[in-house]
Amino acid sequence: MEVAVPQQKPKRKWRKRALWSFGILIILLLTVLIAANVFLSRALPETKGEISLPGLLKPVTVVRDSSGVPHINAASEHDLYLAQGYIQAQDRLFQMDLSRRQASGRLSEVIGEKTVKNDKYFRTLGLRRAAEASYAAYSSEGKEALDMFAEGVNLYIDELKENGKWPAEFTLLGYEPEPWTPVDSLAIGKYMAFDLGGNWEDQAFRQYLLQTFPKEKAYDLFPDYPKNAPYIISKEELDIEKSFAGAVIPYEFNGSNNWVVSGKKTQSGQPLLADDPHLGLATPSVWYQMHLEAPSVNVSGVIFAGIPGIILGHNEKVAWGVTNTGPDVQDLYIERRNPENEKEFSYKGKWEKAEILDEPIKVKDGKTLDYQVTVTRHGPVVSEFAGKSGKDTVLALRWTALDPSAELEAVLNMNKAGSWNEFEKALLKFETPAQNFVFASADGTIAYKANGKIPIRKKGDSMLPVPGWTDEFEWKGYIPFDELPKTVNPKEGFISTANNKVISDDYPYHISNNWAQPYRQMRIQEFLKANKKLTAEDMQSLQMDKVNLQAKEFVPRFVEVLKGPSGKQEAQALTILKKWNHIDSAEEAAPMIFNVWMRNIGDVLLKEEIPEETLNLFNGRRSAVDELLRRALDGKPGPWIDDAGGLEQVLAKSLQVTLTELAESQGDDIADWEWGDYHQVRFNHPLSSVAPLHYLFNGGGGIPVGGSSVTVQAAAFLEDGTVNHGGSWRFVIDLADMNKGYHLVGPGQSGNVKSEWYHDQLDDWAEGTYHKTTMDDPKGDKLTLKPSN
């Protein structure tokens, strides 16, 4: 009997087919990659040769140096600002468009449903309305600069409409930008006033505390006990939790460092100035570095993309930098609504009609939302943007930034200043946001001024919301310009600020209830007092300083409290902390343990009793927790510490939470932990939240960095360790040579992912490697912009 043997298919044919299919797949993949590369590269701007631009009166030269910094040389301010608008748009057009949309509450038109709450909030605030009202406050020269800048941006937009070489983001989102207007620039300026924070959130949070907790426990989180608290809203009248559930809160750590040193303490014999504003870290940077030169101005530094001039930097005679003063420039007014007419509110015994504004919100792939904003005599009703949470009581916001102002004209005047007197005069128009300016000039002068409109109240201290139905709590003016905090050539030989308290207790006016934790300022002063013959290199080193004075204050006392029996891990962690030199080095375990522990102490104390969305209103949270700990360590614990079981239990529980949390990501052996394995900077792009676009726009993974939110090298971090906030621009100048300055603009100058200047300063930012920018005969790619006629 014959047995049938099954025929086997030839293996070679199968392998050939598999190899053929694999080869086709590789070819297709390479084709896609090549096509994508060509698509992205075609959006790169022209940086060499000649381009004809309508509107120019004479040729303009633009030299981009090795760091991608454009040096614009024009024969007039007319041509200078037109060219500035064109060049900014070449590198940052998508960022500029997104910024004006954010400020104007128009993100949903291009993003969709997910940004509707954000748009509602900014429509309610009315930054765009304030910008529109501000244009009239500008002089003819200021208006011309704004107009020419807008014309330059529009020339580039028109160019893209012709050649179709749009930045990739516009193609991915499927839209083209509208023409630029001067109001767009002013709206971005108003947004920066928002981003640098206010104080209404703290007022609302304190009101919530008084609604929710016994008075003693509520006051335990106040910066000071309120004097004659005027009126407490009951929860039945207005539920703070519901009122602000969707509020957009500026970042807690928005601040900065700056300092200026007299020639008496420097090696060159001339002043040194350093500035590093702390803002969100993203791609592209919030800052754009430029050098602008015309017969009437020669200035170098940085500007927000979408705005003309140079806001921070130096010219041939003076240099300046800023930090956030953080004054109380906002008040929440409790408004009583007419039960018979929801459009009327009580004022001095009469019903007063509010302004009702239509603010329709277009939504991509959705219906246009009918949205209305109510504006009382005090300002927009902000407690209703997420829905009616009070039947007959609402909160309206009074804020200096919502008034017409001309801060961008002040910037243009600062650019031309040649002395302290001229610079201070330019500050007259810089009304919002209030900033700490430090100044140095080639004649040896160093100076400081806290500048901006800071209200004087008839009654109250901005601690809590105040009644809006009476005139008792109205603003009666602003701190006079000549009485704002100021110092010129102090005997100490230096001036420094780090969002710290800038006034003595006998200063006659109220400025703020909250100041930043003092550790950065303490460290800066410690360094500057101890050293003489300082150099620009010393200033750079100080900007990268990682000494943690908060740890120096608390670690020894925490270890003493927890010296009793504990688990093996806890004992190992405390031993590491005990031996630590209190420097937040990326290579050590101690900074990771301490910084995450401090965050968890606050969580253990507050999160179980206060909803997270409400806790987000608490801007002064970290300073308040520090004070709770100080009092407890001194034997005077308050209700929050007592109710959590006492100081030892709070410290033990939060340390255990910290070690458990970190072990999940770092492993069980604490000796192997390194701060930089957890604490990493990424500079995320706005579209990187959409997978897989993060691979395209963000590049590789995170970069390990040292420092923390309380060190001079500011590096605040999210719960996953991502460093998303810090020195967005670092700048140092020795006034012995006014032609050059040392800069860092992480992650780079360009917003185009294929540009050599897209992420070229990423590692530099982490390592503190500065580039030198000269105003004298810069070298690099040269582009000539020629009049089209």
Structure tokens at 479: 């701190």
- How far from 273 is each of 270, 293, 543, 723, 756, CA to CA, in Å? 10, 22, 11, 26, 30
pLDDT at residue 36 above 90?
A: no
Q: pLDDT-based confidence at 558, cuts 50/70/90?
A: very high
Q: Which long-range contacts (CB under 8 A, 24 or more apart) does 581-584 make?
A: 582/547, 582/548, 582/549, 582/551, 582/552, 582/555, 583/546, 583/547, 583/548, 583/706, 584/546, 584/547, 584/548, 584/551, 584/675, 584/706, 584/707, 584/708, 584/711, 584/713
pLDDT at 630 over 60: yes
Task: For residue 403, name the pLDDT band (cuts at 50, 70, 90).
Answer: very high
Q: Mark 346-384 as b/e (b = at least 16 C-beta within 10 Å).
A: bbeeeebebeeeebebebbeeeeeebebbbbbbbbbbbb
pLDDT given for residue 695 in this prediction:
74
For 672-729, write each residue's pLDDT tens digit.
999 999 999 999 999 887 767 777 888 667 999 999 999 999 999 999 999 999 999 9
Place of tokens 């709590």: 473
| pLDDT score, position 229 | 66
Give the helix/strand (H/E) hosting 730. Answer: strand 730-734
DSSP result, 391-404: SSEEEEEEEGGGS-
Q: Give yes or no for a contact between 144 and 78, defined as CB atoms under 8 angstroms apart.
A: yes
Work out the mean pLDDT of the chain and round it to a whole number: 92
Does position 587 have pLDDT exceeding 90, yes or no? yes
The answer on pLDDT for 500 being more than 60 is: yes
> Average pLDDT for residues 637-658, to the nearest whole number?
97
736, containing H or E segment: none
Q: What is the pLDDT of residue 23?
A: 61
Is residue 477 packed enough to be buried (19+ CB in 10 Å), middle (13-18) or exposed (0-12)? exposed
Q: Mean of the pLDDT values across residues 46-51? A: 96
773: helix, strand or coil: strand
pLDDT of residue 384 exceeding 80, the answer is no
Q: At residue 786, what is the residue type?
A: K
Mean pLDDT for the stretch of residues 97-108: 97
d(CA 113, CA 120): 12
Mean pLDDT (whole number) for 200-227:
90
Q: Which amino acid is at 298?
A: N
Residue 460 has pLDDT above 90, yes or no: no
Three-class DSSP category at 657: helix
In this prediction the pTM is: 0.93
Token code pair at residue 446: 């160093």
Nearest-angstrom CA–CA distance, 522 and 519: 5
Whether 3 shows a pLDDT value over 60: the answer reads no
Model confidence at 17, in pLDDT bands (50, 70, 90)?
Answer: low
Q: What is the mean pLDDT of residues 483-488?
A: 97
Above pLDDT 90, what percent of the chain?
83
> What average pLDDT does the segment 407-419 reach?
97
Give the pLDDT confidence score for residue 690 in this predicted structure: 73
The partner residues of 448 in beta bridges, in order of sequence, read 438, 487
267 pLDDT more than 90: yes
- What average pLDDT does range 334-358 have in this prediction? 96
3-state secondary structure of 406: coil
328 is in an annotated binding site: yes
pLDDT of 636 above 90: yes
Cα angle value 560/590/652 (rounded, 5°): 40
Catalytic (active site) residue 76: no
Specify the higher pLDDT residue, 239 or 472: 472
* CA nearest to 502, candidates 255, 775, 737, 263: 255
Instruction: Give the pLDDT of residue 7.
Output: 53
Strand, helix or coil at 204? helix
pLDDT per residue over 227-254, tens digit each? Answer: 666 677 888 788 887 777 667 777 665 6
What tokens does 363 get? 């939504």
Give residue 240's pLDDT.
Answer: 82
What pLDDT band is residue 38 in, cutting at 50, 70 and 90?
low
Q: What is the pLDDT of residue 224?
A: 78
Query: Residue holding tokens 């924070």?
Result: 197
Query: What pLDDT does residue 195 have?
Result: 87
Residues in Cβ contact with 29 at an 8 Å cutoff, skipping those fewer than 6 apart: none
Contact criterion met (CB below 8 Å) for 62 and 70: yes
CA distance 665 to 656: 15
Residue 390: its pLDDT value, please? 59
Q: What is the pLDDT of residue 176?
A: 97
Domains, the chain: 200-250+329-402 (2.30.120.10), 549-582+589-673 (1.10.1400.10)
Catalytic choice (99, 104, 256, 441): 256
